[in-house]
Structure 1
């Protein structure tokens, strides 16, 4: 999590951080409109870098359930020193309720 306004974020920070969850909300609100009958939608999330309660609030608001697909122990990352291999990146499939 980072407490900077969107316009103060670098391009790299914008790929990782989402102040106010504006982009996450738009994604969750509109994802179902882009799915085919057998389509699937996913979201990557870090409990260390983000706010899990906010993600759950948004998934509930837009009628999604999170199903863990890949847990943080299966993911390694190192993006320009923002976080190391121990970052808790989880990948979830969004299941429409």
Structure 2
């Protein structure tokens, strides 16, 4: 698992100047040091699987280039909040919101997990395509892939309830390369119960990766 992640990180490090890429039939800006969605098959899958709440509110944790947040706005969300701990990713999200004419709908904030939010910020959907690989990140780019001790996942489950509307949906993008049993245990510690919403197996190297969209509801 770590070997595959490091290989993907190496491909990202080859991106040293701003460029554009195509995903879902659209053109997107990409800045160096930001996760490149077109390098992973999961990106298009999650973008198509997500339940964008029409006229509702949507929050993306770890927005990266912002393509999901932009799509949420284009597909009818009245308000979108994009969060990322990386300043480069926050800027990249702003670029793509401007490129696609939704800068007035997509609010971008830079900070760790839910730290930029106030107690008044609540959403119909919260989504995170998580850094599912167990390991120590060397820099901000690797933080998009590695979560030592799954501490970021714990923070996600610990903080999410305060920002969900009644009946809101908490969604996590994950793969069978990560430790899903541990994620379920962390979720349960913070009062969440996991269910598989969608899944697909895709060819990768000499094998397959299963991409999974998990939904969490309050336990009990």
Instruction: Specify if TM > 0.5.
Output: yes
Aligned ranges 1:1-97 → 2 under 5 Å: 1-2=1-2, 4-6=135-137, 8-9=138-139, 11=141, 13-48=142-177, 50-73=178-201, 86-97=208-219
Deviation at 1:4, TM superposition (A): 3.9
Aligned positions, number:
87
Q: Please tell me whether the aligned partners of residues 196 and 215 of structure 2 are also in contact (alpha carbons under 8 angstroms).
A: yes
Which protein is richer in helix relative to its size? 1
Match of 2:30 in 1: none
RMSD: 2.4
In structure 1, list runs of 5 or more residues that go unmatched.
Answer: 78-82
In structure 2, list runs of 5 or more residues that go unmatched.
Answer: 3-133
Moved >4 Å (runs of 4+): none
TM-score, normalised by the number of residues in structure 2: 0.35
TM-score, normalised by the number of residues in structure 1: 0.73
Provide closer, same or farther for how the CA distance between residues 96 and 45 of structure 1 changes in structure 2, counting only shifts above 3 A: same
Q: 1:4 and 1:52 mapped to 2: Cα distance? A: 15
